[in-house]
Amino acid sequence: MDIEALRNAHPEHWSKAAAIRVLTLDAVAAANSGHSGMPIGMADVATVLFEKHLKFDASAPNWFDRDRFILSAGHGSMLLYSLLHLTGYEQFPIEEVKNFRQWGARTAGHPENFLANGIETTTGPLGQGIAMSVGFAMAEAMLRGQLGKRLVDHYTYVIAGDGCLMEGVSEEAISLAGRHELEKLVVFWDNNNITIDGTVDLASRTDQVARFKANGWHVQEIDGHDPEAIDAAITAAKKSGKPSMIACKTHIALGHAAQDTSKGHGALTNPDQMAAAKAAYGWTAPAFEIPAEIKSAWEEIGRRGAAERFAWEERFAALSERKQAEITRRINGEVPPKLASVVRALKKQHAEALPKVATRKASELALEVINPVLPETIGGSADLTGSNNTKTADLGIFDTDNLKGRFVHWGIREHGMAAAMNGMALHGGLKPYSGTFFCFTDYARPAMRLSALMQVAPVYVMTHDSIGLGEDGPTHQPVEHLAMCRATPNTLVFRPADAVETAEAWEIALTQTSTPSVLSLTRQNLPTLRTEFKAKNMVAQGAYVLAEAEGKRQAILMATGSEVAIAMEAKALLEAEGIGTRVVSMPCFELFAQQEESLRKRVLPAGPVRVAIEAGARMGWDQWLLGERGREAKAGFVGMEGFGASAPAEVLYEKFGITAAAVADKVKSLL
Amino acid sequence: MDIEALRNAHPEHWSKAAAIRVLTLDAVAAANSGHSGMPIGMADVATVLFEKHLKFDASAPNWFDRDRFILSAGHGSMLLYSLLHLTGYEQFPIEEVKNFRQWGARTAGHPENFLANGIETTTGPLGQGIAMSVGFAMAEAMLRGQLGKRLVDHYTYVIAGDGCLMEGVSEEAISLAGRHELEKLVVFWDNNNITIDGTVDLASRTDQVARFKANGWHVQEIDGHDPEAIDAAITAAKKSGKPSMIACKTHIALGHAAQDTSKGHGALTNPDQMAAAKAAYGWTAPAFEIPAEIKSAWEEIGRRGAAERFAWEERFAALSERKQAEITRRINGEVPPKLASVVRALKKQHAEALPKVATRKASELALEVINPVLPETIGGSADLTGSNNTKTADLGIFDTDNLKGRFVHWGIREHGMAAAMNGMALHGGLKPYSGTFFCFTDYARPAMRLSALMQVAPVYVMTHDSIGLGEDGPTHQPVEHLAMCRATPNTLVFRPADAVETAEAWEIALTQTSTPSVLSLTRQNLPTLRTEFKAKNMVAQGAYVLAEAEGKRQAILMATGSEVAIAMEAKALLEAEGIGTRVVSMPCFELFAQQEESLRKRVLPAGPVRVAIEAGARMGWDQWLLGERGREAKAGFVGMEGFGASAPAEVLYEKFGITAAAVADKVKSLL
């Protein structure tokens, strides 16, 4: 590339873009790790976007109607940090840039949304950014539908690389975006033809332009180093009426010795090569120093959106106080007081009617009373609407002609669904929940981990939660999935035993603002076990005594979900033989672990034999079975050792030995 | 649809296809569960495929050079079972069909490869079949390259539905197939425009024809009920020189009252509607009875390939005895005796040289001696070749002009990679192993679960296995992934401590025939701890005493991988204070759990304080810490509670308190 020709063609643009390039080189060199090539390659696109199009105000990073900028190719984090520093975000002084990738810095190796304002989302696991961006754009459309264009009207811009586009989740995302004609979503593809292993051709010859077109997108192809072409393409994208992909032909590590090579992807720290690149850029300032006129030009960009923000704030201030408070409540993720009261009323009703329903149905019953009082909930299902029971009567279907619709037909796209829920949750103003079969947690897993890591609170409604689903067989029967979810930090895993616990679990899940919830729900009917109405949310304790021993307490049975009823039957068998047996329902390990030790000891006192029952793997139970330091009790487990099988549910419970009789025998063998 | 016109147009074809349709109706009705619509809709395609094209011999279902038939839309399992019964597979008498979805039957709800011959693979989780089929077709191409066209020359045929094509993994698969021009792969898309929630349009408007073309496929669009069009399309597909997709416009539940509706997807059991459908089909025989002339026509199809098989067997018999034995060995998945000897020699070398290398590098050193003696290994990486260290000097790159190449550049497609490895393993004759970062186990997870469930033995080389990867931060730092893998039944999870254990782990992993292995390997260098050469494979024991207490044994430290060195340092600190400390290396929980109880007790005797160290979640450790029945020891854990962070590795170990000093303190607090 003739860098000098590029510089001379657009000198003012070039000096601004060069600032990104040299900050990237300097920060990566200081850290002696990181990814230099992508920020250098995409600096022109980012400069034009921020200078001419992105609606933002660096002094108000959380302005609700700002455009969102998603760096899906998260390894190029120095692109984002450079922009945040240059445009004057308070949390990104030059010291942060100097501390790139160090302990305690906001400039982590990959962008982490929870570390600073201006970072809209964590990215790094490839494909997640583009998939979340669909959720951002859907949230914008939904809120525009609900609150009107005067309050919500912004774009979502994404930079994605070849890695993002090779990941399967990108197909789920772009297909969804095409289906919903998300016209305010603009994706820049960093078409540099390089991945870590070499040229893209080593692994892919997919015609990305044709692929996006096949998914209903508006597509343009431009020179990603030509600021005029970039500007024109963004302008055209915004007018296209469709989601828009701009294929930007770029040179990775432009102007560096490693340009156009896979070496250019990583950390470019050779001092001589750095010096040569800076010279090519016409850059003479010392490391980490930005000449004043360039910095001030960037800061002007950072202030560009202020007037628009003030106008928006005036429009907001003109709303009624009640409306302002309601929108603020939703942006903050707070639930209305009515949530507690409708859940309480439902519990009362259940304690009287004693419904014998599957917990997936109980979940629907809860949503039927919750959705009308929480206009921010957005439901959905990955093509299992009638099975997941996530659609309530009043939601309406989200569609191009019904932006107010609050139920999303996600299609058979569990991963894209979970990622889009993350995007919605990050956007703010909405509380997404959606369902699939619990076993297909596997498909959604990369995005579910990100929910927990990013500290957002979508609700995963995972039905058909065990061998209890029966004939569909082991591919559909979760065994290790409770352990997998419970092992994940910052995740609440609920396995409610009946309709009352299900309602309580929903109340807790929707009250979270920084922790995702997984509701593991049965296909099969279960009796109501919480027959006595209690206003208190017992699930919030994590585990509690559901039924006390009648005789001398010799055994404690612990169970979750569908197995609590089995524990109650086993208790009856044992009590009939004079063996006093307590039953502890444990709908949420994580909440129980948060309780005071004294309370935990009251629920699980040392001494009696302990047997846990769960139609899943034992892993995770030992902490409660064996006591937190061991030595507390003789213990046993009744559950699954291998995968399930195809047969009617009741046959499977019998064949796999998860029965009241087996539990009673296990207790007696330990006494 | 005018069924009668269809019948009259091709009466002989129609009666054969009708047999599939009525068996499906009868079996689903008997089970009162299952999916009727898809087998009924795709019966014509399947009939033509089996009658005119599929190379198979029902009496020799494991004939190595048969064409493979993959039912990716696995819920339509009655299509497959009908075909296996009708063509005369010994394991599929009518009793099996009558027992559809019942305990112990081979006719499980979804096809399960391990239940019977003729079922090439488990399917049901959507997208997996089409993704595995790419592995089948790659295996065919590789073996054709290695062994020649006279021994290996067959097609892989796939039936996929809209669900398969919406799942993101399908994009990874079809992009890979296009890149490698897998000309012997033919996919039938059951284009019936129906999913469970309704018409496809609810969730997708993707132009699938354009999408496959964008990925380099040959594509045709046909009427899926016209046997002549089906036949012509298959003939054209075989000549296309590319992977070929045939879009088959079909009617789900053709001829039934539920035709063309989402209700038609599920179990059609209404007796009157069944009777009406059978009448429309011109079918008068009682339930489960196939008129003799129709059955015999099908059985003739089942014998159609016999001559071709005999000819193949003659060609095989003409090979040298040594060559025959070698091919048979590979088909059976047996390793050559040389594997043990090269591993032993490498261990000896390590015990002398005491290399200080990362276990990912140790893995490469092992592969450097293994790959030359195991021509069946196929390596690869999801665009992290230089990081996963999976490519050895002699492999060569698999490509269109180098079918003998044994290394695959999978691209950034962890899920597609894992699924393709499953396909290769199911095909037989190859031992696939491939790598990515351990954290991206998340992406590969649905296919990794299937490896275990299907009882195949690919090796997952998962490097960068903890916070030890450093600056890339929490999105790249596995915390819960060891627990997730260990909770999965039938999976060997290895976390070797040094170069010697890594070599031993490889030997065990490659010796497996029905259990997948996960090798969790470090980015950072580790000292050789197994300084004394032992011929015995100690990793095979799962856990063993690496260093005995010097003074009176007061503590046992248990650790895996990079934390074993920390345990050794902690031992030194403790012994210096007179606290006798045993160090147990636990590279594989699953193998240790399989040992005799007496051995386990010798390794982990009751009494001394136990502290486990692992840079991951505690979940899974309690069984060893607290003893199998609890009460055995005071215990503690040094590891991770939350997610990691971005900083240099040594800083992270310090900040998260995973240090020798912290371990020693933990021991002392428990004494």
Chain A CB contacts of B646 under 8 Å are: 101-103, 105, 108-110, 112
- Beta-carbon separation of B179 and A124 below 8 A: no
Residue of B nearest to A106 (CA): B646
Q: Which of B214, B383, B631 has its CB closest to that of A211?
A: B214
Tell me the whole-structure pTM to 2 decimals.
Answer: 0.98
Comparing A286-290, A358-362, A605-609, which segment has the lowest mean pLDDT?
Answer: A605-609
In whole angstroms, give the CA distance from residue A231 to residue A49: 7
Residue of A nearest to B181 (CA): A205
- Beta-carbon separation of A646 and B110 below 8 A: yes
Mutate to test the interface with A, among B471, B669, B670 (most CBs of A within 10 A): B471
Map tokens 């009638």 to a residue: A386
Q: Is B265 annotated as contributing to ligand binding?
A: yes
Residue of B nearest to A410 (CA): B203
pLDDT band at A626 (very low <50, low <70, confident <90, very high): confident
Q: Is B440 annotated as contributing to ligand binding?
A: yes
B367-426: pLDDT as tens digits: 999 999 999 999 999 999 999 999 999 999 999 999 999 999 999 999 999 999 999 999
- Beta-carbon separation of A383 and B163 below 8 A: yes
Q: Is A472 annotated as contributing to ligand binding?
A: yes
Mutate to test the interface with A, among B35, B454, B626 (most CBs of A within 10 A): B626
Interacting residues of B286 by C-beta distance below 8 A, sequence separation 6+: none
Burial class from Cβ neighbours inside 10 Å (0-12, 13-18, 19+) for residue A596 reads exposed
- In the DSSP assignment, the letter for residue A498 is S
Q: Which of A166, A474, A489 has its CB closest to that of B453?
A: A474
Comparing A1-5, A372-376, A516-520, B348-352, which segment has the lowest mean pLDDT?
Answer: A1-5
Does the pLDDT at position B630 exceed 80? no
Altogether, the residues listed in chain A come to a count of 671
Other C-beta atoms within 10 Å of A180: how many?
Answer: 22
Chain B nearest C-alpha distance from A310 (Å):
37
In whole angstroms, give the CA distance from residue B310 to residue B158: 26
Strands A194-195 and A198-199: antiparallel
Q: Which of B112, B412, B450 has its CB closest to that of A167?
A: B412
Q: Which of A108, A476, A483 has its CB closest to that of B646?
A: A108
Chain A CB contacts of B446 under 8 Å are: 440, 442-443
If DSSP codes are grouped into helix, strand and coil, which group holds residue B547? strand
pLDDT at A154: 98
pLDDT at B313: 98
Residue of A nearest to B627 (CA): A630
Torsion of CA B96, B97, B101, B102, to 10 degrees: -40
In whole angstroms, give the CA distance from residue A246 to residue A572: 67
Residue of A nearest to B446 (CA): A442
pLDDT at B551: 85
Does the pLDDT at position B1 exceed 80? no
Active site residues of A: 414
- SS3 of B338-405: the string is HHHHHHHHHHHHHHHHCCCEEHHHHHHHHHHHHCCCCCCEEEEECCCHHHHCCCCCCCCECECCECCC
Does the pLDDT at position A630 exceed 90? no
Q: How far is CA B313 from the centre of its chain?
A: 29
pLDDT at A631: 57
- Beta-carbon separation of B619 and A483 below 8 A: yes
State yes or no: is B90 an active-site residue.
no
For B456, phi then psi, to 5°, come to -115, 170
**Alpha helices (H) in A586-671, listed in sequence order:** 589-593, 597-603, 622-625, 649-655, 660-670
Q: Are the beta carbons of A336 and A329 closer than 8 angstroms?
A: yes
B34-51: pLDDT as tens digits: 999 999 999 999 999 999
If DSSP codes are grouped into helix, strand and coil, which group holds residue A372? coil
- Beta-carbon separation of B166 and A646 below 8 A: no
Q: Which of B103, B178, B630 has its CB closest to that of A205?
A: B178
If DSSP codes are grouped into helix, strand and coil, which group holds residue B568? helix
Across chain A, mean pLDDT equals 97
Map tokens 């034999």 to a residue: A609
Chain A CB contacts of B384 under 8 Å are: 196-197
If DSSP codes are grouped into helix, strand and coil, which group holds residue B307? helix
Tokens of A661: 């009789």
Chain B CB contacts of A445 under 8 Å are: 442-443, 445
Among candidate residues B121, B87, B91, the one with its CA nearest the CA of residue B105: B91
Mutate to test the interface with B, among A443, A445, A450, A656 (most CBs of B within 10 A): A443
**Counting one residue from A and one from B, how many pairs have CB atoms under 8 Å apart?**
367
In whole angstroms, give the CA distance from residue A237 to residue A231: 10
Chain A CB contacts of B387 under 8 Å are: 196
Among candidate residues A536, A562, A561, A494, the one with its CA nearest the CA of residue A343: A536
Q: Is A265 annotated as contributing to ligand binding?
A: yes
Across chain B, mean pLDDT equals 97
Residue of A nearest to B204 (CA): A179
pLDDT at A139: 98
- Beta-carbon separation of B443 and A446 below 8 A: yes
Q: What is the sign of the dihedral through the CA atoms of A664, A666, A669 and A670? A: negative
Q: Is B427 annotated as contributing to ligand binding?
A: no
Domains of chain B: 3-309 (3.40.50.970), 338-526 (3.40.50.970), 542-670 (3.40.50.920)
Q: Is B124 annotated as contributing to ligand binding?
A: yes
A630 torsion bin: left (phi>0), alpha (psi -120 to 50), beta (else): left
In whole angstroms, give the CA distance from residue A463 to residue A439: 9
From B51, B140, B172, B414, active-site residue: B414
How many CA atoms lie within 13 Å of B425's alpha carbon, on the beta-carbon side? 33
pLDDT band at A551 (very low <50, low <70, confident <90, very high): confident
Residue of B nearest to A164 (CA): B412
Chain A CB contacts of B475 under 8 Å are: 74, 110, 112, 122-125, 450, 453
- Beta-carbon separation of A453 and B445 below 8 A: no
pLDDT at A345: 98
Map tokens 């914008």 to a residue: A140
Helix or strand (DSSP H, E) at A69? strand A68-71
- Beta-carbon separation of B105 and A646 below 8 A: yes
Angle at A54 (CA atoms; ends A51, A59), nearest 5 degrees: 85
Q: Is A163 annotated as contributing to ligand binding?
A: yes
Torsion of CA A98, A102, A107, A111, to 10 degrees: 150
Among candidate residues A63, A66, A121, A114, the one with its CA nearest the CA of residue A422: A121
Q: Is A440 annotated as contributing to ligand binding?
A: yes
Q: Is A13 annotated as contributing to ligand binding?
A: no
- In the DSSP assignment, the letter for residue B336 is P
Chain B CB contacts of A627 under 8 Å are: 626, 630
C-alpha dist (Å) from residue A561 to A128, A209, A227: 32, 48, 59
Map tokens 């046959």 to a residue: A651
For A519, phi then psi, to 5°, come to -100, 115
Chain B CB contacts of A453 under 8 Å are: 474-475, 643
Q: Which of A196, A381, A387 has its CB closest to that of B383?
A: A196
Burial class from Cβ neighbours inside 10 Å (0-12, 13-18, 19+) for residue B8 reads exposed
